[in-house]
């Protein structure tokens, strides 16, 4: 069956960057582009005709880094605390969630999106508030930043947290005036609670979650998603079966590339056991690279930098591997037929990784692989050379300009010239691709395009200037006719992977 889509404004992004009036689609594939008259004629009398009424048509978007499982878990299994305007609202939303879900005793209740800055007296929800929701269910609710949570008394008991528990490095177990933990866990202390929340292993539940996220992505025009989900489940094989069964059942409406995240080198075996290798295809599901963690985040001063943080002298953040460890990790992974990618925000971390790739370049080339860096936020001129040497791909997050501009100047000062510098990267010939990092940021590609063009957040801030790091240009003149106005509020999720 042929369908002629006519009277449109079709931007093919082909080599001629052509704009066409009409296209002919046969069996789900675009067969021809041309004028309305031409395409109508080619469709023939048996063909269907769809009048686009002047609407725009674009090729599907490819999102090169996001987390479908986490997004689905927040959407389907976590109470939405964004509407709360005081602690009482938080308690009521959680009580309603418990009643609605009819959760058996002992099972976890989770919420996401509270923000004490919006509440009278900047009051945090504490264990005492959450104990009013339930003392028979462990409860963990996460602040909208994703780096602070509150837990009820049962959750703290299960985690073994009491007045004698020391603060972990980089975190704080908040205490009341009597020295008792009040349920609020800051930064790394959050993981004391987070690590005991059971991960999903039930295949049917996982399928529903992936299908939910897939529908949302397709509704935004995303037709290929590079998704990192294996750390979000308790059973990697159940997840792999879930993708493939969804495909068989016709419930996977987009193509997936799986980013295989490890927590530590010992986790590699769990992927080697599958018997697949990078870039194997199973219909719509393709095996991507092994991903490891290079450093932390800018917000928490844990991104690995070459020089001190501008707002924290003496601190250069952290990197998870030194040069030798990283070089040998890349070698191990590539020798086992897997491509490599890394979470790297800071310049030190990105340098270490690209040097590790350079040291393994013969083998990487022999296998036809191409390493990539997810985030690559804080750059320096030397890193441009390393990108050239390795041919690595940068997987950047334009929406981080939206979210980070308030802190980025303070953290790295004059290094902003080489940070979030997508234009400079493109001009230098680096292969730059964009990922949303959903659910950390909105997956709407038009939001990302707007932020990339305007170098301002979605509300137009900072007014009167542009966030540096892009191509130098006068403030105010950057917005083009192509930039899409947006009124949506972007939902930020926990930085679970960072």
Q: How many residues bind Zn ion, per CB under 5 A? A: 2
Nearest Cα neighbor of 50 from 11, 3, 9 is: 3
Q: Helices 347-359 and 381-390 meet at what angle, rounded to 10? A: 30
Select 384 or 420, whichever has its Cβ closest to Zn ion: 420
Distance from C-alpha of 234 to C-alpha of 201, rounded to nearest angstrom:
5
Q: Which contacts qualify for 382-388: CB closer than 8 Å, 24 or more apart? A: 382/351, 383/347, 383/350, 383/351, 383/354, 383/418, 384/424, 384/425, 384/428, 384/430, 386/350, 386/351, 386/354, 386/355, 386/358, 387/354, 387/425, 387/428, 387/430, 388/428, 388/429, 388/430
Cα 492 to Cα 261, 300, 346, 387, 441, distances in angstroms: 21, 15, 21, 30, 5
Select 67 or 455, whichever has its Cβ closest to Zn ion: 67
Select 236 or 497, whichever has its Cβ closest to Zn ion: 497
What ranges make up the beta strands (E) of 67-160? 79-80, 109-114, 139-143, 148-151
Q: How far is the CB of 418 from Zn ion (least distance, A)?
A: 22
Q: How far is the CB of 67 from Zn ion (least distance, A)?
A: 6
Select 39 or 399, whichever has its Cβ closest to Zn ion: 399
Q: How far is the CB of 223 from Zn ion (least distance, A)?
A: 20
Select 137 or 375, whichever has its Cβ closest to Zn ion: 375
Q: How far is the CB of 221 from Zn ion (least distance, A)?
A: 20
Q: How far is the CB of 417 from Zn ion (least distance, A)?
A: 25
Q: Report the relative pairing of strands 181-187 and 148-151 from DSSP bridges.
A: antiparallel
Q: C-alpha 49: how far from its chain's center?
A: 39
Q: How far is the CB of 232 from Zn ion (least distance, A)?
A: 11
DSSP state for residue 330 in the 8-state scheme: H
Select 194 or 462, whichever has its Cβ closest to Zn ion: 194
Give the x-and-dash track for 341-360 against Zn ion (CB under 5 A): --------------------
Q: How far is the CB of 401 from Zn ion (least distance, A)?
A: 16
Both tokens of residue 49?
């005709």
Both tokens of residue 322?
């030194």
Q: How far is the CB of 439 from Zn ion (least distance, A)?
A: 9
Select 152 or 341, whichever has its Cβ closest to Zn ion: 341
Select 229 or 437, whichever has its Cβ closest to Zn ion: 437
Q: How far is the CB of 264 from Zn ion (least distance, A)?
A: 18
Q: How far is the CB of 437 from Zn ion (least distance, A)?
A: 4
Q: How far is the CB of 373 from Zn ion (least distance, A)?
A: 12
* SS3 call for 174: strand
Nearest-10 Cα torsion for 131, 158, 156, 495 = -110
Site for Zn ion in 391-450 (CB under 5 A): 437
Rounded to 5 degrees, φ, ψ at 41 are -65, -45
Select 69 or 184, whichever has its Cβ closest to Zn ion: 69
* SS3 call for 395: strand
Select 152 or 397, whichever has its Cβ closest to Zn ion: 397
Site for Zn ion in 262-321 (CB under 5 A): none
Select 71 or 137, whichever has its Cβ closest to Zn ion: 71
Of the listed pieces 133-141, 189-197, 274-282, 490-498, which binds Zn ion according to CB under 5 A? 490-498
Neighbouring CB atoms inside 10 A of 248's CB total 9
Q: Helices 323-335 and 347-359 meet at what angle, rounded to 10? A: 50
Distance from C-alpha of 19 to C-alpha of 16, rounded to nearest angstrom:
9
Question: Are residues 395 and 375 in contact, defined by beta-carbon separation less than 8 angstroms?
Answer: yes
Enumerate the β-bridge partners of residue 171.
Answer: 187
Of the listed pieces 113-121, 274-282, 469-477, 489-497, which binds Zn ion according to CB under 5 A? 489-497
Is 497 among the residues that bind Zn ion (CB under 5 A)? Answer: yes
- What residues make contact with Zn ion under the rule CB under 5 A? 437, 497
């Amino acid at each position: 069956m042929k369908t002629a889509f006519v009277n449109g404004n079709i931007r093919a992004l082909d080599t001629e960057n052509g704009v066409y009036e009409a296209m002919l689609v046969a069996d789900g594939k675009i067969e021809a582009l041309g004028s309305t008259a031409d395409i109508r004629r080619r469709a023939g009398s048996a063909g269907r005709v769809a009048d686009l009424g002047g609407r725009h048509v674009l090729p599907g978007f490819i999102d090169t880094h996001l987390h479908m499982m986490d997004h689905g878990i927040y959407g389907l299994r976590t109470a939405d605390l964004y509407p709360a305007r005081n602690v009482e609202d938080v308690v009521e939303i959680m009580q309603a969630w418990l009643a609605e879900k009819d959760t058996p005793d002992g099972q976890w209740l989770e919420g996401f999106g509270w923000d004490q800055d919006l509440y009278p007296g900047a009051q945090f929800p504490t264990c005492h508030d959450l104990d009013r929701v339930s003392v028979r269910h462990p409860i963990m609710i996460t602040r909208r930043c994703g780096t602070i949570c509150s837990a009820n008394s049962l959750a703290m008991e299960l985690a073994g947290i009491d007045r004698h528990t020391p603060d972990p490095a980089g975190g704080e177990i908040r205490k009341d005036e009597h020295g008792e933990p009040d349920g609020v866990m800051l930064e790394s202390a959050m993981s004391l609670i987070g690590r005991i929340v059971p991960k999903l292993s039930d295949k049917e539940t996982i399928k529903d979650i992936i299908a939910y996220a897939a529908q949302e992505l397709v509704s935004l025009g995303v037709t290929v998603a590079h998704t990192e989900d294996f750390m979000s489940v308790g059973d990697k094989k159940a997840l792999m079966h879930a993708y493939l069964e969804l495909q068989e059942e016709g419930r996977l409406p987009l193509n997936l590339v799986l980013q295989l995240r490890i927590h530590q080198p010992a986790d590699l075996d769990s992927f080697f056991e599958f018997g697949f290798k990078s870039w194997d295809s199973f219909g719509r599901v393709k095996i991507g690279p092994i991903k490891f963690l290079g450093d932390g985040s800018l917000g928490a001063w844990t991104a690995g930098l070459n020089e001190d943080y501008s707002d924290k002298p003496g601190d250069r953040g952290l990197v998870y591997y030194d040069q030798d460890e990283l070089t040998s990790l890349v070698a191990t992974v590539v020798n086992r037929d897997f491509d490599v990618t890394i979470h790297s925000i800071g310049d030190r971390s990105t340098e270490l990784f690209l040097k590790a790739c350079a040291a393994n370049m013969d083998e990487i080339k022999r296998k036809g692989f191409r390493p990539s860096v997810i985030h690559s936020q804080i750059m320096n001129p030397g890193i441009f050379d390393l990108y050239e040497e390795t041919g690595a791909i940068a997987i950047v997050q334009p929406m981080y300009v939206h979210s980070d501009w308030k802190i980025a100047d303070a953290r790295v000062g004059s290094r902003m010239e080489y940070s979030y510098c997508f234009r400079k990267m493109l001009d230098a010939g680096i292969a730059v691709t964009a990922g949303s990092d959903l659910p950390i940021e909105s997956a709407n590609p038009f939001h990302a395009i707007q932020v990339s063009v305007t170098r301002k957040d979605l509300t137009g801030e900072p007014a009167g200037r542009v966030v540096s790091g892009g191509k130098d240009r006068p403030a105010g003149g950057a917005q083009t006719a192509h930039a899409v106005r947006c009124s949506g509020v972007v939902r930020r999720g926990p930085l679970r992977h960072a």
